[in-house]
């Protein structure tokens, strides 16, 4: 797909990012997120780059895809891993190379940063479409499993 611009998200993009995340949670995990909490969470990242940053894919003035990058420090490797999160492509633009463009942009950004070692992501195990896309771009499944405990 031609004429796709990749840029850093700005505060003006908050509502679109919130809507993308609401759709992502519903589509991939059947979850209904709190819009109020999500608005605050997206806005926090947009206002504080220490938390991470969003990349936006645009065609003309329409935002058609996005992803978020957060950091993980590796003491074993004395460097940073970037985590790709909240990947979403508008349904009208899927399977047209939008994620590939976003992914390529992430790789370009990393190439200029000596302390960033690479990037990781997690994917819902039943999301075969996403898994296939990640593998086709050269990402490999790790031996790690993801565990969490949510403190409420």
Question: Which CATH number do you get for residue 78?
Answer: 3.40.630.30
pLDDT at position 52, please?
Answer: 97
Note down pLDDT in tens along the chain; length 152 residues.
Answer: 689 999 999 999 999 999 999 999 999 888 999 999 999 999 999 999 999 999 999 999 999 999 999 999 999 999 999 999 999 999 999 999 999 999 999 999 998 788 899 999 988 888 888 889 899 999 999 888 888 898 98
pTM, to two decimals: 0.91
Place of tokens 């771009």: 137
Spatial distance between the Cα atoms of 152 and 147, rounded to a whole number of angstroms: 16
In a domain, 151, yes or no: no
pLDDT at position 1, please?
Answer: 66
List, in sequence order, every beta strand (DSSP E) within 10-151. Answer: 53-59, 62-74, 79-89, 116-121
pLDDT at position 89, please?
Answer: 96
Nearest to 103 by CA among 121, 124, 129: 121
Spatial distance between the Cα atoms of 73 and 137, rounded to a whole number of angstroms: 24
Decide if 91 contacts 64 (C-beta within 8 A). Answer: no
Instruction: Provide the residue range defining the domain that includes 78.
Output: 4-136
Spatial distance between the Cα atoms of 126 and 143, rounded to a whole number of angstroms: 18
Spatial distance between the Cα atoms of 22 and 29, rounded to a whole number of angstroms: 11
Number of domains in the chain: 1
In a domain, 13, yes or no: yes
Listed in sequence order, the residues at least 6 apart from 80 whose beta carbon sits closer than 8 Å to its beta carbon are 71, 72, 73, 74, 113, 115, 116, 117
pLDDT at position 112, please?
Answer: 79
In a domain, 141, yes or no: no
In a domain, 150, yes or no: no
Decide if 58 contacts 5 (C-beta within 8 A). Answer: yes
């Amino acid at each position: 797909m031609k004429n796709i611009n990749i840029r850093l998200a700005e505060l003006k993009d908050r509502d679109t990012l919130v809507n993308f995340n609401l759709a992502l949670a519903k589509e991939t995990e059947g979850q209904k997120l709190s819009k109020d909490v999500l608005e605050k969470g997206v806005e926090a990242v947009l206002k504080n780059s220490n938390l991470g940053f969003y990349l936006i894919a645009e065609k003309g003035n329409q935002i058609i895809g996005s992803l978020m990058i957060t950091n993980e420090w590796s003491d074993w490797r004395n460097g940073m891993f970037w985590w790709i999160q909240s990947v979403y492509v508008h349904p009208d633009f899927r399977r047209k190379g939008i994620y590939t463009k976003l992914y390529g942009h992430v790789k370009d950004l990393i190439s200029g940063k000596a302390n960033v070692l690479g990037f990781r992501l997690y994917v819902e195990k039943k999301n075969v479409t996403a898994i296939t896309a990640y593998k086709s771009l050269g990402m490999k499944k790790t031996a790690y499993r993801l565990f969490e405990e949510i403190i409420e």
